């Protein structure tokens, strides 16, 4: 199972919106509603910000949102803030009942 | 509050085996799965997250990523609520921080994470 493909880096100014894509295949994203996104600050453990494609866990800011179309999932951060600067990883359940992570995206707030 | 506490740093020679433990406390959900994820050290996201496998502690059922199936086992000790990950035939590219993480059964995402255990494979 190959890693899902994400852009290596995305940047934006404070207040702007950015979108991170996550491209897989019909073996994972294309046939799964269980796509989640994790935020990881340097030296910290990952934290889930979106699950089941577009659901925010309790306590996660509503400026995170998720979507999916075909084999590609997306995470959008609206009103970018300094504390959003981190690495972001998508993860998808697969048809073989395993999981696969994305390659990761470094978000930089300019 | 659920806590996952992992064992400490390990240094191993190529070809050796390693066992990392993960003890759950603080009333985990009645039904939960423990997942194992690893991350090579260095500047992320070049060193991204890799899903290793998962165990249902109640039944002992496991699933392991295909690429690691022949080298990874996931035993458990329910008397102490401790899960283990064992990797055999270690190679230098197995050097990574190994995390355990908890999924409330049927939610398909990782709620809680252990602090990570660094495993270094070097001759």
For B44, which residue in chain A has the nearest alpha carbon? Answer: A87
Would the CB atoms of A38 and B111 count as touching at under 8 Å? Answer: no
Q: Is A24 at the interface with chain B, CB within 8 A? A: no
Q: Is A85 at the interface with chain B, CB within 8 A? A: no
Average pLDDT, integer, range A48-62: 96
List of chain A residues whose C-beta atoms are within 8 Å of the C-beta of residue B107: 51
Bridge-based pairing of strands A47-50 and A72-77 is unpaired
Q: How confident is the model at residue B42 (pLDDT cuts 50, 70, 90)?
A: confident
φ, ψ of residue A29 in degrees (nearest 5): -55, -45
The reported pLDDT for the residue numbered A14 is: 97
Instruction: Flag whether pLDDT at B78 surpasses 80.
Output: yes
For chains A and B, CB pairs below 8 A equal 75
Percent of chain B at pLDDT > 90 equals 79
Nearest CB to B44; choose among A96, A98, A104: A104
CA A70 – CA B15 distance, rounded (Å): 42
For B100, which residue in chain A has the nearest alpha carbon? Answer: A45
Each residue of A56-83: pLDDT tens digit?
999 999 999 999 999 999 999 999 999 9
The reported pLDDT for the residue numbered B36 is: 98
The reported pLDDT for the residue numbered B44 is: 55
Question: Strand locations in chain B, DSSP E?
Answer: 3-6, 10-12, 18-25, 32-39, 49-55, 62-64, 72-73, 76-77, 82-87, 96-104, 112-113, 117-121
Average pLDDT, integer, range B88-94: 96
Bridge-based pairing of strands B112-113 and B49-55 is unpaired
Q: Is A46 at the interface with chain B, CB within 8 A? A: yes
CA A73 – CA B64 distance, rounded (Å): 24
Percent of chain A at pLDDT > 90 equals 96
Do the Cβ atoms of A101 and A91 come closer than 8 Å? yes
Query: What secondary structure letter does DSSP report for A3?
Result: P
Would the CB atoms of A38 and B110 count as touching at under 8 Å? Answer: yes
Neighbours of A86 (CB within 10 A): 20
Average pLDDT, integer, range A88-102: 97
Would the CB atoms of A101 and B50 count as touching at under 8 Å? Answer: yes
Would the CB atoms of B45 and A36 count as touching at under 8 Å? Answer: no
CA B83 – CA B85 distance, rounded (Å): 7
Q: How confident is the model at residue B43 (pLDDT cuts 50, 70, 90)?
A: low
């Amino acid at each position: 199972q190959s890693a899902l493909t994400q852009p290596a880096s995305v940047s934006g100014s404070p207040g702007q919106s950015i979108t991170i894509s996550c491209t897989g295949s019909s073996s994972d994203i294309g046939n799964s509603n269980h796509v989640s996104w994790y935020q990881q600050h340097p030296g910290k453990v990952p934290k889930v910000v979106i699950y089941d494609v577009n659901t925010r866990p309790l306590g996660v800011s509503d400026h995170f949102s998720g979507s999916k179309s075909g084999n590609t999932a997306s995470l959008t951060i609206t009103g970018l803030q300094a504390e959003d600067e981190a690495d972001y990883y998508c993860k998808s359940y697969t048809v073989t009942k395993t999981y696969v992570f994305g390659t990761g995206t470094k978000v930089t707030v300019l | 509050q659920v806590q996952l506490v992992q064992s400490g740093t390990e240094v191993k020679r190529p070809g050796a085996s390693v066992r990392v433990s993960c003890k759950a406390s603080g009333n985990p959900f009645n039904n939960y799965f423990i997942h194992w994820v690893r991350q090579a050290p260095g500047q992320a996201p070049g060193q991204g997250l890799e899903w290793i496998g998962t165990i249902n502690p109640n039944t002992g059922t496991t699933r392991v990523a295909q690429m690691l199936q022949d080298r990874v086992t996931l035993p458990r000790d329910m008397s102490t609520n401790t899960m283990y990950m064992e990797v055999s035939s270690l190679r230098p590219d197995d050097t990574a921080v190994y995390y355990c993480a908890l999924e409330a059964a049927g939610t398909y995402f990782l709620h809680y994470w252990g602090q990570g255990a660094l495993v270094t494979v070097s001759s």
